[in-house]
Structure formats: structure tokens, C-alpha cells
Amino acid sequence: MTQGTTSKQQRLILGSLFCGIFIILLIARMFYLQTFRYESLYKQSENNRVRIQSVTPKRGIVYDREKRPMIENRASYSLSVVPVEISKTETTERLAAILSLEAEELNRRIKKNLISRFQPALVKRDLDFEKIAILEEQNELYPGAVYRKDQARLYEPNLGSECFTGYIGEISPEEMKTLDPSVYKAGRVIGKAGIEKYYDRELRGMEGTEYLEIAASGQLLGVLESQPGVPAMPGNDLVLTIDKDIQEVADSVFGEFCCGAAVAMDPRNGEVIALVSEPSNDANIFSSVIPDDLWRSILADTTNPLLNRPLDGQYPPGSTYKLVIAGAGLELGLIDRNSLFPTPCTGGYKFGNRVFHCWELGGHGKTNVVQAIERSCDVYFYQLGYKMGLEELSKYSRLCGFGKKTGIDLPQEASGNVPDKDWYDRRIGKGQWTQAVLLNLAIGQGEILSTPIQLAQFYCGLANNGRVFRPHLLKTIIEPDGRETTIGGELSYTLPFKQETLDILKEGLVAVTQGEHGTARGSKIKGTVVAGKTGTSQNPHGENHSWFVGFAPADDPRIVVCVIVENSGHGSEVAAPAVKKIIRAYLEKYNLLNQGTAVVEVTP
Amino acid sequence: MSGMSIIKSPDFDWKLVTAALLLSLFGVFLIFSAQYHSNEPGAQMYYVKQLIWLGVALIAFFITISLPPRLYDFSAYLIYFLLILMLVGVMFVSSKSGASRWYSIGPVNFQPSEFGKLAVLLALARYFAYTKLPPTSTKRLAFSLILVIIPVLLILKQPDLGTSLVYLVILFSVWFFSGLSPIYLMLIVSPIVSLIAAFHWLAWVIYFFLLLLVLFFSRPGLSFSVLTTVVNLLFGMMTPLMWNRLADYQKMRILIFLDPGRDPQRAGYQIIQSIISIGSGGILGKGALNGSQTRLEYLPVRHTDFVFSVLGEELGFIGGVIMIALFAFILFRGMKIATKCRSNFLATVAWGVVTIIFFQMVVNIGMTLGLMPVTGLPLPFVSYGGTSLVFFWVLIGFLVMADSRWQEY
């Protein structure tokens, strides 16, 4: 044999040896199984009942930012049926009777959740304990019926938090078509909305497997020793950016009004501190089986509780939108800090043969941009909007984040609407619309639509020197072994405004609460300066909606709050006090109020 | 020399062909038995289909031995190139589940990776038959590795771990056959062992120490030794580092990727049922058509991947030994043909054929006995499936050719 090579004869010998060893190994193993283990395996083959049972992993807990639970698990029982073991029809009927179902319905459920004929198919979740007791006592009457400890979700009630927690439910056949079959199996639960859906992969963990030995009589003998199972892997726990205390306050601000939304965010990183949709649903009911009559009443409810208002509610932003117009005007050089428009506000503005009213029928006279924001003078913005033109107006709206999704970590949000020339051409028809639409847009009415979260995000930018973070709810992921991953803020975009412009806009926003003509001068908070803007969203179907978006402290903003209260009239009356309440609760909690400071002087 | 005259010649290896035919008929019978009590529509006719496919396979065998051996030699690289094209093409064939492994031509699903084993083998044989480089030359090893790695990566993408393993095993085996000493082979394969051993640090340290000992005593040359040591060190260090950075669910996802479509729940269940089936057969078996496991349908995919379990239950240890003996006969005969054959090209092909049959047999039977993980590799000649049956008869054709037509060079 030369170095590193072999002769043909050696190859034949080595190859034969190699083959031979493996062949002997196979035969030896066969011999072992068919002689030494013959008796026990033969017996097993006669009463063959090995049942595969999946072990449900613990679904992750969801906490608020201070690690107080928002979503927990509670014990429950579920019932499954092993199709091969339940061959007799009377068993099916008996079982159906106990579950108060038709036998047909029971068979339908078995079929729906069938994995294989040897694996239990789920037929009923969250079964009453009495029924479990009956099945346990008379188990020989129900061969093939398998009940086991399961878990159900428990949502912290009365926080108006269903809009972001979402809920869970059984995977539907339609969902099954698009899901990864190695992770999702028929009859399992999945997040249907909110955090539960968006972070389902984090929360759900990995299913384990157990092999159980069943005697011919159907009696459970225990875990099969010869085949170890696969343990279940619990899901990750999630810590949210939500502050339960502030969420509670935000849920309480709507008073007598039925409907609205509240968003509180930290402008420095996009963390969502509170998110409320009013009226809200109870995720606990949604996550179990909803009784038919309740479901019908929810669908029939005219207040539309299924609409997730902070994310999916689209409203004209009203005067809160004037900051986009003012900022664009300053950037384009159409106005400066002190310039005035030729036509003073006399309570209205004549355009063509139509008069566009200012909300203050007494008029505001001549104002500069800061005063126009302070008093929310419509006539000022009619003129500015007209001067700017539709193209610039829609361009700046888009640059300020309107008309597109914020990218919040929730599965569903609306993008709002920023109309432009093409949009009007399509909607109304070429040449069928006039520049009058521009006047309406300039005061945030008409075809422009924003969601509360978009508006909150835009004001976060105003509060944070133009840097806009993507709103997010997830703060930390805690893996089962305790390892933590913290999610930081993610810069989404930068407002198209220079620092100088931002300063002028902020001056106007401060004047809204501090100035002697400010539209929200009643919403001062002792010990801090609130900056903000009122808004009224015109509603052709009823009373107008009122907006307020504000942040504080004005010199170092820590919280931005946006509230809309549907059908409640002017922003200053309902929405502004609501925002004030939330901001005060937050600043008090984090000790950000200056004790005994006088009201700050502001130039008018 | 035509196919007919080969069969008529006194040198024709009737014993070899008879063994393959017996295995095939064994398969038809077992498929018949496995589905005899089946309620599944059409399942009772599987054995008829298999019988028809056996006819097709014999025709394919005949065509294979009729064509001049030089044709395979000359077109080896062309066939290889066509394989690569088909493997790339199959990625663009959309199927319901996303990835696709085969082309559907009417009722037949053609899976390029199946015949690809042969295409790669022909290309390797062609290369080794004409290269003047010594067996241990790095250039020679590298070129043949590249020949195999390209289709392996394409098949891994499908993904199909079992089949890509067959390709690698063919490469190692052909390296050995072309004269590379087993020690070299061991060293080359060592990083893979390193990768696996690295999941436990002590196992890896022991393994690495042994490796150094082997290197020290076998003295395969300095550059080779250093390279082997460094690559092993790298694999040993990197694996746990990378693996530990992954979250548990990510690890699980990788494992599922490597072994797709194999629900771990189901795989475990199949193994349990297979072991019960075989064990309960005892020495003599429960008798044909009389396996209770089989009859009660506890045994899944019993006519394809788990056909050996049906044999074990119904014909017992005796039946199992007879089948393994038939395989052993083909394998030893094949190895003898390969070492005797004077044409380098045909000899290498013959050795590769033996490798494919051996590997698939050990992996499949080992799986049914609970010795190997569950992969989708069928049992040669026996498992239900037309493509596989035709393929293995073509392989037998190459063995016959290496035995009787090498002198045409």
C-alpha cells in the first residue's frame, strides 16, 4: 500500500467488511425485537392502543410596563375524541348528549379537527367541570373520549384594552390554508386580533408530544416507557409599553359619551402608554365561545363596538391639522412668524360667490401664524391653504405621515386619506370640482381623514424636534429561560420642518392653553405647561366629534395624548379636559410636575 | 452487441438479475398484503400498478444494457448538465404547498433528484476514469466535491435532506473506490462528525483528541494535517456559538427545515407502530395477509416507506433474513463486478450503484427497526412507487453492463 492509497483487492475486502457489519447489525436488531421482545410486542399488537397526545405549551403572559399582568392563563378542561376508538354510533350519541350537541354536529367537529384517525381531535374547549366529573366516573361508557387539562386566557377586565390585547380563538379552516403547517395544527388556538395575533409566534411556544398506552378496554395505562415524548416549550412572555394606571385613567375620560378613542405615547421613542377604544369589548368573552344572542347584539349595536377606533377609526382631523398647513407655509416661505394676510377675519371669508365661515362668528381680525394657531382662526388658514395650492398641501400632508399606516405592531390599522388632484378627478370627475375643496382641507375638514394614532404620531414629531418614532407596544420579550430582549424605539421618519419652523409651531401650541385667547385656556395644569391643539371634526350624520392633541411638559415633552370624543361638539369642551386628565395622571405618577411654579408667561 | 445477445451470452449474470427480480416480486406481494384489507379507494389495486411498473422497469433495464457503454461515458457531463437545469427548473414549478420537487407529466410525477443520483454518479465516474491526478490530490478531491455539492445545494433547497445525503455518500464511496485510503476519507469526513459532536463539549474534546492521535500516527502530510485540524477546530467552536444564539423555537424551525413534512408527532408514532409490527411477527411471522397491525391499519404508509414492517409482521424473522440476504447477494456480487471490471468508468459506476442500493437499504430498514431517523427514502425494488422501481432496475442494468461489456473499450 503506497501512502494514502489502496489496492483493488483491499477495496473489495474493506467494502465487503463495511457492508457486512451493517447487515449483521440489521439482522441482530431484528432478531432482538422478534425473540427477546416478541412476547410484549405481540401483546401490544393484540390490544394495540398507543395514543399520541399533544402537550399544550403554556401561552406567554402579557404584562404592562411595570410587569403587572394584562393577559394571564387560567386552567380549563377540553374534550377530544380519538376517531379509531369511537367506532360505535351509540358512543357518539352518548357523548353528544353529554355535550348537549347533535350527534351530527359532534361528527362535524371531529372531522374539522382531524389530524389522523389515531390522534385525538378536539371537540369542545373550556368544558364545565361537572361534565368532566361524569366522564371520569363512567369512562368505560365513553371509549375514545379524552379530556385533559388545558388553559384558557384571562384578560384584565375594565381597562378598555381589548383594542390592543386582541383575543384568541380556534384556527379556522381559511386561516389554516395560509399558515405554516409545522407550527399550526387544526383545533389549536391562535391570536385573532391585537397583540395576541401580531405576536402569536412569540406567545404560542412549541407543542410537545406524549405517547400513552391504552388497554384494549380503553383504560389509560400511563405513559409509554419505550418511547420518550417531546416536552412542550412554553411561549415567550411579553412586556408591553402600556402603563396600566394611565390606561385606567384613559378609559375613564369619556364620561357620558359613548364613543371615542384615546392614544398616549412617549414622543421620545414611540412607546404607546395607553390605547383606548370606546365602547370596548370584553376579550374574555371573545376568547371563549360567544353566545349567539350576545354576538347578535354586538353586531346590531349602532355604536359599532367592533370598530377599533384609535387605529381603524378615520375622521377628518379638523383644526389639529392646521399645524401641517402652518408648517408647510413657513417652509415654503409663504408666511413668516409675523406676516399677516391682507383679508382680516370678520367671521367669514368670501371665496367666489360663497362665504366660508370662521368658527368664531365674531371674527379674529388680523393675526399672525402663532395667533392663528392660538385662536384656531379658520380665515387665516383658508388664505394660507389657497396660496399654497393642492399639490403642496397633499405633498406636505404625506410627509407628515398622513395617508399611510404608522406601522404600529398590531395586525390591523387604516391608512386614512390624503386627497390630491388625481383623487378628486377620480372621485368627483375631471373639471367637476373647484379650488373650494382646498379651503376645506386647509382647516382639516372634508376629504382628509386621519386615524387617532396617526395624529398622535404627528404630534410626537412636533414634540420631539421633528423626529418621529414608529408607535409600538412591545417593550421586552422574556424567553422561558429568563433571557430578555428589549425592543427600543425605531425612527420612522423626520418631519419636513426646520428647527425654526418647529419652534414657531410649538409657540402656537403653547399659546393654545396659555394665551389669553387660547382655545384651550381652561385646560392648564398647575406645575407644567401643556402644549396642544383643539379640533372639531365635522360630522354630516350628527353632532360633531371633538379632538384634542396635547403634550407636556412643553419644554421637554414626555407624553403626547390624542383624544377624540364622538358627537360631543367642540374640542375645547370635552376632548381637551380629557387629555388634561390623562397628562396630569402621567406627570403626577412620574413626578414631573413642578411644585408651586407660577403660570409661565407667554407672548400673545 | 445488442441487449438480446447479452442476455443470451453464457456470461450473463442470471443470478444477479434473478435476485433483483425476486426482490421486486417480494415487493408486489407485500404491497398486495399491506393493502388487502384497506378501505381506502384504489389502495387494493396498488399491487397491480406496481406489477405494471415492474414491466416498465424491465424494459428500462433492457434498454440500458442495449445502448453502447461509450454513450454513457461520452454524454456523462451532458447528462449532468441537464440534471442541473432540471433541478433549477423545478424551483420555478409552483405547487400547492409552495416548494416543488417534481415535474408532473400527465399522471406521472418525475422527480429529477431521483435519477440525479445516477447523473452525478456518471459525471464522477467520467472524471475519475480520465484524471491523471493521484487519489490524494487536493485538486482532484475539490473538483469532484464541487460536482456533487452543486446538485446537493439545489436539492437541499427543495428541501429534501434524505436524497441529498445519498449524493454525499456516493461521493465518499467513489473517493474510496478510486483509491483514497480510508484514513484520508475519515479525516475528510471528520468536520461533519465535529459538527455533530460539538453539541456536547466533552464529546467534542474526546473526538478532537482522537483525531489528533490519528493524524499523528498516520502522517498524511503537513498541509493536510494542519487543514484538517483547523477545519475541525472551526466547526467545533462555531457550532455551539451559533446554535446557542438561536432561540428554542428557531432551533426547532431549523430542525423542521432539515426534516420537512415530517411531523415529529407522526414520525414517533410510525416508529412505535413499526417496532410493534416487526416484533410481534416473531420468528415465523403471523402468516401472509394476517398481520393484525397491518390489517387494523395502525401502521401508516405501510406500502411505501414501511413496507419492511409488513414483511417483519407477516413473515417474521425468516422472511426478513431472506430479504436482507437477497440484498446482500446483489451488493457482494456488485462489488465483485466493480473490482473485476477493467473499464475504469464502468467499474466506478458499478461501485456507485452498490453504494446507492446499500445506503437506501440500510437507512430504510434501519428506520423501520428504530435504528435510524425517519427519512423518506424508499426500500430499493420493494417499496411502492414507479419511479423508484424503474430507477433501481436501470442501476441493475449498469451492473450487468460492467460485468459483460467492459471489453468493448
d(CA B395, CA B128): 19
Report the gap between the CA of A283 and the closest CA in chain B (Å): 27
Instruction: Quote ipTM for the complex.
Output: 0.88
Least confident segment among A335-349, A375-389, A578-592, B89-103: B89-103
**Which A residues in the span 580-599 are in contact with B, Cβ-Cβ below 8 Å?**
none
> Distance of alpha carbon A395 from its chain centroid, rounded?
28
Q: What is the rounded average pLDDT of the residues A462-483?
A: 93
| A39 contacts in chain B (CB < 8 Å) | none
Closest alpha carbon within chain A to B364: A26
Report the gap between the CA of A7 and the closest CA in chain B (Å): 7
What pLDDT is attached to residue B106? 64
Q: What is the rounded average pLDDT of the residues A293-297?
A: 81
Q: Burial-class residue A303 by CB neighbours within 10 Å (0-12, 13-18, 19+).
A: exposed
Interface with B, mutate which of A2, A16, A37, A41 (most B CBs under 10 A): A41
Closest alpha carbon within chain B to A8: B339
Query: Of B271, B293, B362, which is closest to A26 when you measure between CB atoms?
Result: B362
Partners of residue A264 on adjacent β-strands? A274, A561
Closest alpha carbon within chain B to A25: B366
What pLDDT is attached to residue B97? 45
Does pLDDT of A33 surpass 50? yes
In chain B the first and final C-alpha atoms are separated, in Å, by 13
What pLDDT is attached to residue B242? 74
What pLDDT is attached to residue B299? 64
Is A15 in contact with B335 (Cβ distance < 8 A)? yes
When pLDDT is cut at 50, 70 and 90, the band that residue A261 belongs to is: very high
Does pLDDT of A36 surpass 60? yes
Q: Please provide the average confidence, as pLDDT, over all residues in chain A.
A: 86
d(CA A593, CA A554): 12
| B371 contacts in chain A (CB < 8 Å) | 25-26, 29
When pLDDT is cut at 50, 70 and 90, the band that residue A188 belongs to is: confident
Interface with A, mutate which of B39, B131, B170, B181 (most A CBs under 10 A): B181
DSSP-H helix ranges across A333-368? none
Is A209 in contact with B293 (Cβ distance < 8 A)? no
pLDDT tens-digit readout, A369-413: 999 999 999 999 999 999 999 999 999 999 999 999 999 999 999
Report the gap between the CA of B279 and the closest CA in chain A (Å): 4
pLDDT tens-digit readout, A198-235: 999 999 988 888 877 766 555 666 777 666 777 888 99
Helix axes A390-399, A378-388, angle to 10 degrees: 100
Is A30 in contact with B369 (Cβ distance < 8 A)? yes
Least confident segment among A179-183, A339-343, A434-438: A179-183
**Structure-model confidence comparison of residues B373 and A513, the more confident one:** A513
> Distance of alpha carbon B234 from its chain centroid, rounded?
30
d(CA B58, CA B56): 6
Asked if B272 contacts A50 with a C-beta cutoff of 8 angstroms, the reply is yes
Is A29 in contact with B371 (Cβ distance < 8 A)? yes
When pLDDT is cut at 50, 70 and 90, the band that residue A602 belongs to is: very low
**Which A residues in the span 7-36 are in contact with B, Cβ-Cβ below 8 Å?**
8-9, 11-12, 14-16, 19, 22-23, 25-27, 29-31, 33-35
When pLDDT is cut at 50, 70 and 90, the band that residue A499 belongs to is: very high
Report the gap between the CA of B140 and the closest CA in chain A (Å): 14
Report the gap between the CA of A79 and the closest CA in chain B (Å): 20
**Structure-model confidence comparison of residues A562 and A88, the more confident one:** A562
What pLDDT is attached to residue A601? 43
Query: Of B265, B293, B317, which is closest to A48 when you measure between CB atoms?
Result: B293
Of chain A, the percentage scoring pLDDT greater than 90 comes to 49
**Structure-model confidence comparison of residues A139 and A104, the more confident one:** A104
| B283 contacts in chain A (CB < 8 Å) | 34-35, 38
Cα atoms in the Cβ-side hemisphere of radius 13 Å centred on A409: 24
Closest alpha carbon within chain A to B245: A483
Three cell numbers at A567? Answer: 358627537
**Structure-model confidence comparison of residues A26 and B208, the more confident one:** A26
Q: What is the rounded average pLDDT of the residues A430-438?
A: 85
Query: Of A4, A46, A50, which is closest to B220 when you measure between CB atoms?
Result: A4
Q: What is the rounded average pLDDT of the residues A342-369?
A: 86
What pLDDT is attached to residue B249? 55
Report the gap between the CA of A262 and the closest CA in chain B (Å): 36
Q: What is the rounded average pLDDT of the residues A544-566?
A: 93
**Which A residues in the span 176-205 are in contact with B, Cβ-Cβ below 8 Å?**
182, 201, 205
Indicate the DSSP class of residue A35: I
What pLDDT is attached to residue A399? 95
When pLDDT is cut at 50, 70 and 90, the band that residue A533 belongs to is: very high
Is A5 in contact with B369 (Cβ distance < 8 A)? no
Closest alpha carbon within chain B to A224: B272
pTM of the model: 0.65
pLDDT tens-digit readout, A75-121: 888 888 887 777 667 778 888 888 877 888 888 888 877 766 667 78
Q: Closest Cα to residue B335, out of B307, B318, B359, B354?
A: B354
Query: Of B256, B269, B292, which is closest to A45 when you measure between CB atoms?
Result: B292
Is A209 in contact with B268 (Cβ distance < 8 A)? yes
| A479 contacts in chain B (CB < 8 Å) | 247-248
Q: For B192-202, b where at least 16 C-beta lie within 10 A, e where not — what string?
A: ebbeebbeeee
Indicate the DSSP class of residue B69: H
Low-confidence ranges of chain B (pLDDT < 50): 96-99, 260-262, 296
CB-defined contacts A:B, below 8 A:
164
Report the gap between the CA of A18 and the closest CA in chain B (Å): 10
| A118 contacts in chain B (CB < 8 Å) | 269, 298
Closest alpha carbon within chain A to B260: A182
Report the gap between the CA of A503 and the closest CA in chain B (Å): 46
Three cell numbers at B229? Answer: 485540524
Is B276 in contact with A44 (Cβ distance < 8 A)? yes
d(CA B67, CA B27): 28
What pLDDT is attached to residue A306? 87
Q: How much of chain B is helix, strand and coil, in % rounded to 5?
A: 75, 0, 25
Interface with A, mutate which of B172, B177, B224, B276 (most A CBs under 10 A): B276
**Structure-model confidence comparison of residues A590 and A8, the more confident one:** A590
